[in-house]
Structure 1
């Protein structure tokens, strides 16, 4: 984050193991926000990615060496007052994994979502995710217990984060600040998402930013791998063989929607008949809005790490080359977003647009047996299952 909208030019000092003096190049700013979203004045910290072009360090062979560290300096001849080590792991990776999920800073000081979190994590693994990367502010002790359990099994990675600059970092004050300053919160979410991207740039093919109340469900295929194989096949053209992002449309699954008349039994009654425990929120809630959110609204995406430069919760911001996008048809997959109500921006139209027509959608039940068993086993081990 930078404390001005138009930062001044700066330079990079690239330090190499076999060179006595650093190589200096001009840094490049990549603005990681959209001007139309507002909050682009110097009053707000601005999210930027700073890149440092690497010139061939060996002029005779034109071979590009890998720097060991980098410093940012104001002018070409300035002395460095900072130095960051460079982590380059491509040389140790022989094959990319398919999927990794990135989760923005968890901020659940007083809300215990531990049971729902286990159900969500286990379903992601069933869908083919290899690892989940959590970023954390402050969480309930039971959430910490869940994250520690999966981290000890190397299935998740947890990175504790703070707010930059002079923004508050006392736990209670920070929570209140983020709740009352939503745009600032959204701008700061850019940092963990892109940290997740660059930590997995060479090891994972697709990065998927998700919140813990949403899941991408394939409607025809069994998992994400089968889904993306089919999507890549139907999306290929002479111009595009691999897109920078594959977007999935969202639909609401409201927490309070139940049908209680004789013709349409409640989801709770159906679930009880099928033996689904009441604590499995996603398997219990199988009524959704009959209206999908508009194309592009609050969508989620599979971001291709071969193309992504900077990412946002919903879209690619900058790419190597063009930011090409393919929209996955909602007959193939959709994002199931579990909420009490519509987002604030859609409150005025929520009742007539998204709550008026409700449909039964049991697509998630194809994972019922495996999800029930795995989730219940973990909850029992952690002592979180209240019988």
Structure 2
């Protein structure tokens, strides 16, 4: 039997849960949000520069903290993680896969490739662990990976967008069980092989995500596996990568709310675009992240130079 010991207060810490909680006089609270990321296992691949940009973009988006699980990683990634941990923006938990799984990095990488269902099932352990560890600090916890970034079309910060989502779906006192256990952002792919649009071409190459302003217009079906959740930790207790498994009172009474992509979506910086993108008018330019350029560019440059990564 495995037991997950959860230690926390009976009441949420409003100094971290709310935005400007001491000065906030609005009738509806504006909630902070934290990120629960994956168990990083980049041992053979150095993604340290992209990781710095990802963390600084999350900071610019208004996320309060980022929680990551760490296995064996590249030495440069280790430097990045310790840098942000020392400054309080990243929280780290050391993670090892339980027996009979082998934690040697090369064998684990092979296991990831040939045993994907088991790998995804294992993720549920540390996603749920992360949510329950921090549910008394943050009511809203987002699960995203380092190749994903929220794209806010009409808002500057994630807490502002989240506040509008809550206000547009009000719940009467006593009906808290009827509120959605998560708000889900739908993917759009920002393909890796598309050249930057003119608006981003002058950015340095180490701003990898911000330079990838083009995405394919190829239609993409909205399926559960192509969304990522913003967990409401007032309700959610069993978590997985794309939704909520269980709620505090058992089976969730409502489905998670799927947010419209014309307001916000999740950019997934991943696959190459094939023959479709060779057609005329097959891509569109999304300049959403460029509104953070004046904050993110100097911050990323400073960290990369300080850690001698550029």
TM-score greater than 0.5 by the shorter chain:
yes
In 2, Cα distance between equivalents of 1:287 and 1:255: 9
Secondary structure class of the residue paired with 2:72: strand
Q: How does 1:275-290 map to 2 (within 5 A)?
A: 275-290=202-217
Structure 2 residues not aligned, in runs of 5+: 19-31
Correspondence for 1:206 among 134, 137, 140: 140
The 8 Å contact of residues 90 and 203 in structure 1, kept in 2 or not, is answered as no
**Residue 257 of structure 1: aligned partner:** 194
Cα deviations by residue, 1:319-374 (Å, 9 ceiling, x for unpaired) = 134243222111110000001338xxxxxxx755x886211111111111111111
The alignment yields a C-alpha RMSD, in angstroms, of: 2.3
In 2, Cα distance between equivalents of 1:169 and 1:204: 31
**Residue 81 of structure 1: aligned partner:** none
In 1, Cα distance between equivalents of 2:308 and 2:265: 33
**Residue 271 of structure 1: aligned partner:** 200
In 1, Cα distance between equivalents of 2:229 and 2:72: 27
The 8 Å contact of residues 182 and 256 in structure 2, kept in 1 or not, is answered as yes
Secondary structure class of the residue paired with 2:127: helix
Q: Does 1:113 align with 2:47?
A: yes
Cα shift at 1:109: 0.9
In 1, Cα distance between equivalents of 2:52 and 2:148: 13
In 2, Cα distance between equivalents of 1:125 and 1:118: 11
**Residue 242 of structure 2: aligned partner:** 314
Q: Does 1:325 align with 2:256?
A: yes
TM (normalized to structure 2)? Answer: 0.85
TM (normalized to structure 1)? Answer: 0.69
**Residue 301 of structure 1: aligned partner:** 229
Cα shift at 1:382: 0.9
Structure 1 residues not aligned, in runs of 5+: 3-49, 51-71, 73-83, 259-265, 343-349
Q: How does 1:79-94 map to 2 (within 5 A)?
A: 87-90=7-10, 93-94=13-14
The 8 Å contact of residues 69 and 92 in structure 2, kept in 1 or not, is answered as yes
Cα shift at 1:271: 2.4
Q: How does 1:1-387 map to 2 (within 5 A)?
A: 87-90=7-10, 93-95=13-15, 96-97=17-18, 98-236=32-170, 242-258=179-195, 267=197, 269-272=198-201, 275-291=202-218, 293-295=220-222, 296-321=224-249, 322-341=253-272, 357-385=282-310
The 8 Å contact of residues 100 and 206 in structure 1, kept in 2 or not, is answered as yes
In 1, Cα distance between equivalents of 2:228 and 2:236: 15
Deviates more, 1:188-197 or 1:234-243: 234-243
Cα shift at 1:279: 1.3
The 8 Å contact of residues 251 and 292 in structure 1, kept in 2 or not, is answered as no
Task: Pick the structure with greater CA Rg.
Answer: 1
The 8 Å contact of residues 6 and 132 in structure 2, kept in 1 or not, is answered as no
Total equivalences in the alignment: 287
**Residue 24 of structure 2: aligned partner:** none
